[in-house]
Amino acid sequence: MTDSGQNRTGANEPLVRFENVQKTYDGEILVVKDLNLDIEQGEFLTLLGPSGSGKTTTLMMLAGFESTTHGDIILDGRSLRTVPPHKRDIGMVFQNYALFPHMTVYENLAFPLQCHNVPKSGQDRKIAAALAMVELTGFERRRPGQLSGGQQQRVALARALVFEPRIVLMDEPLGALDKKLREQMQIEMKHIHENVGLTFVYVTHDQSEALTMSNRIAVFDDGVIQQLDGPEELYERPKNAFVAQFIGENNRVNGTVRDISGDRCLVELPNGQTVKALPVNVGAAGEATTLSLRPEAIVLEPADGDGCDDTYPAIVREQIYMGDHTRVRVEACGQDDFVIKMPRGSGARSFELGQDIAIGWRSGDCRALDAA
């Protein structure tokens, strides 16, 4: 697509840079606090976070529909402060993708071209190219009502791509679709991104959606990016208790740091037990911490080869068969909601409710984070 793969400012410069960006709507509360974020040319970046965390506001400031209260946004080395939305070279897909129902697919795609003053002579080629990207060649004469939800979504994406923008912004575009279609569209969206090579910035509150599609994910909470990393890094190595909690499932156990030496710390639990953990985000000895353990990292009845540093007594409280795994809830470490995922075929066995067992884990899988 045109020269959008080239970055005019040179290979090492990001395509977009948020510099100390703040936003308040009411003059009091900062809904975006101090945002510094680089968006790389060609990446699929997702802004992920709970409702109200500032994702849409961030996207709208980039699109130019909201101003920044403080700081600046740089696109291709140029401040966007005085650049109106239609001159930013940015395509958008909204949640209620708002196709014009009385217009054909062709007319829906021609609309943004007319807004961008593209001469009529170039329209056909651009529309054909955009429809090919979303694999809807031949659908030009249909109206939105004659398309499935997924096809309408693809038309909305084609409409954002048709004027060959540098960046495509999407705000929860799959929110209206049912689960199965949404998952299918996530894969399609990822493929479309790979094929067109454009920069996608995507907003969602759905962590599995973010993990499926993104090159990098910025986890937002309360107007602040808590962590910016690739999907695997975020899941495997969350930097704080919020991220550990928001991405995937985890067991949280509060305790007090007793000792830190090298790459392990010793944490005392309220019931007097001590646990070895990886010190990720902890203060000095004596300070509170939250231990985070993924349900699949816990071993039931550990054997010698499992690499568990210690074992802890547990009482089986619940077992739920989930097909590909069994969820076992135990009482352990002073908590009654310790969840363990036993993958199918991993020597999975069943226990009696109330049975006394042992659980364990590798101390490297037990992350000591900020006290939540």
Rounded CA-CA distance 78/68 in Å is 15
- In terms of CB distance, is 47 or 275 closer to ligand ADP? 47
Question: 176 to each of 52, 135, 246, how far by Cα in Å?
Answer: 19, 21, 22
Which residue number has the CB closest to Mg ion? 56
Rounded CA-CA distance 198/193 in Å is 6
- In terms of CB distance, is 93 or 333 closer to ligand ADP? 93
Closest approach, Cβ 59 to ligand ADP, in A, equals 8
Going across the sheet that includes 325-332, the strands are 299-300, 356-361, 310-321, 325-332, 335-343
- In terms of CB distance, is 153 or 204 closer to Mg ion? 204
- Give CA torsion, residues 158, 163, 164, 166, to 10 deg: -100
Question: 162 to each of 115, 138, 196, 203, 360, how far by Cα in Å?
Answer: 12, 16, 12, 21, 55
Rounded CA-CA distance 170/218 in Å is 15
- In terms of CB distance, is 56 or 186 closer to Mg ion? 56
- In terms of CB distance, is 69 or 254 closer to ligand ADP? 69
Any contact of residue 56 with Mg ion (CB under 5 A)?
A: yes
Considering only the stretches 48-56, 91-99, 268-276, 310-318, report the one whose residues sit in contact with ligand ADP under the rule CB under 6 A. Answer: 48-56
Closest approach, Cβ 24 to ligand ADP, in A, equals 9
Closest approach, Cβ 46 to ligand ADP, in A, equals 12
- In terms of CB distance, is 68 or 290 closer to ligand ADP? 68
Instruction: List all residues 6 or more positions away from 26 whose beta carbon is below 8 Å from its beta carbon.
Output: none
Considering only the stretches 54-62, 262-270, 317-325, 364-372, report the one whose residues sit in contact with Mg ion under the rule CB under 5 A. Answer: 54-62
- In terms of CB distance, is 57 or 108 closer to ligand ADP? 57
**Which positions from 76 through 105 interact with Mg ion, judged by CB under 5 A?**
none
What number of other Cβ atoms are within 10 A of residue 113's Cβ?
20
Question: 347 to each of 68, 298, 323, how far by Cα in Å?
Answer: 56, 14, 14
Beta bridge partners of 288: 256
Q: Which residue among 41, 56, 186, 227 contacts ligand ADP (CB under 6 A)?
A: 56
**Which positions from 7 through 26 interact with ligand ADP, judged by CB under 6 A?**
25
Q: Which residue among 2, 27, 28, 51 contacts ligand ADP (CB under 6 A)?
A: 51
CA atoms within 13 A on the CB side of 66: 19
How many residues belong to the site for ligand ADP (CB under 6 A)? 10
State whether residue 247 is helix, strand or coil.
coil
Any contact of residue 204 with Mg ion (CB under 5 A)?
A: no
Question: 19 near 73, Cβ under 8 Å?
Answer: yes
Among Mg ion, ligand ADP, none, partner that 31 touches (CB below 5 to 8 angstroms by kind): ligand ADP
Considering only the stretches 20-28, 55-63, 128-136, 211-219, report the one whose residues sit in contact with Mg ion under the rule CB under 5 A. Answer: 55-63
Rounded CA-CA distance 199/220 in Å is 20
**Which positions from 200 through 239 interact with ligand ADP, judged by CB under 6 A?**
none
- In terms of CB distance, is 61 or 291 closer to ligand ADP? 61
Considering only the stretches 45-53, 138-146, 265-273, 355-363, report the one whose residues sit in contact with ligand ADP under the rule CB under 6 A. Answer: 45-53
Any contact of residue 65 with ligand ADP (CB under 6 A)?
A: no
Q: What is the DSSP string of 16-60?
A: EEEEEEEEESSSS-EEEEEEEEEE-TT-EEEEE-STTSSHHHHHH
Rounded CA-CA distance 29/34 in Å is 13
Considering only the stretches 54-62, 130-138, 259-267, 326-334, report the one whose residues sit in contact with ligand ADP under the rule CB under 6 A. Answer: 54-62
Instruction: List all residues 6 or more positions away from 106 whose beta carbon is below 8 Å from its beta carbon.
Output: 127, 140, 141
State the residues that interact with Mg ion by CB under 5 A: 56
State the residues that interact with ligand ADP by CB under 6 A: 25, 31, 49, 51-57
